[in-house]
Amino acid sequence: MKALKKWKLIVEPAPLPGPWNMAADEHLFRLAEPAAATYLRFYQWDRPTASLGYSQVAAKVVDADFCRRNGVGLVRRITGGKLVLHDREVTYAVASSDASVFTETLRDSYRLISGALMAGLALMGLDPRMAEISPPAYVRGTMPCFALSARDEIELGGKKIIGSAQKRTGAAFLQHGSIPLEKDEGLLAAAAAPAAGASPPGSPGMTSLSEALGRPVDFHWAVERFCRGFSDAFGVELEPFVLSPGDREAVSALRDSRYATDAWTFRL
């Protein structure tokens, strides 16, 4: 019997600050790039934190003054996409350069990962589907990520449940995404810039695992099922991985030089 491929699995035991989370994801992307390795990471945030897509203009999409006054963190990702408010969620990250699994196109790898996430949701007893189109107003506009579903993003009952973004360099890529355990559309609307817009009138908006299942959902319970979904969908073995002291030094350096700075966050 052919041995299963092994992916490195990181499940963070406790919530972490936004700048560290973004630096850790980039570090895994850098580790994956030289070799055909794949890393799967699940984590949480130590406080509500808004993340900007790489190319977004902060003033157009986020109310930075509101965030400062109300203790909401603010970071910029290296991935694309729109504004996301991270709070009481499962966040996943996949970093890989294994073109034999993911191919070298953004959409193919995105759809494969969406399939694994859907397998995890199915193990929870849910019935997810991929959105078929990206509404033009959402693509062109500045509304937050969870205002509407883009093509190949995942919905439950017509409502968006997972928002993801990707960065790719050749065969190497980083994709990470937000899976709300509970939703707070009021805080998201308050953190977004007034001109950014929210869910258009009559749109289904977003949902959460707790809302979909009708009960509180624990981070580790959900992660266990997502891990099984990835393992089953890709036919791989997930091998626990812990960042070494050298890895942690590299993440700290990235955090301090980039993700914890206003120069990076606001493009000063």
Q: Which residues are catalytic?
A: 145
Backbone angles phi, psi at 205, to 5 degrees: 70, -145
**CB neighbour list of residue 96: distance below 8 Å, 6 or more residues apart:** 32, 36, 37, 38, 39, 102, 109, 172, 173
The span from the CA of 79 to the CA of 101, in Å, is 21
- Taking a C-beta distance cutoff of 8 angstroms, is the pair 106, 43 a contact? no
Q: What is the DSSP string of 26-75?
A: HHHHHHHTTTT-EEEEEE-BSS-EEEE-TT--HHHHB-HHHHHHTT-EEE
Q: Could you tell me the sign of the dihedral formed by the alpha carbons of 14, 90, 217, 203, in that order?
A: positive
Backbone angles phi, psi at 218, to 5 degrees: -85, 140
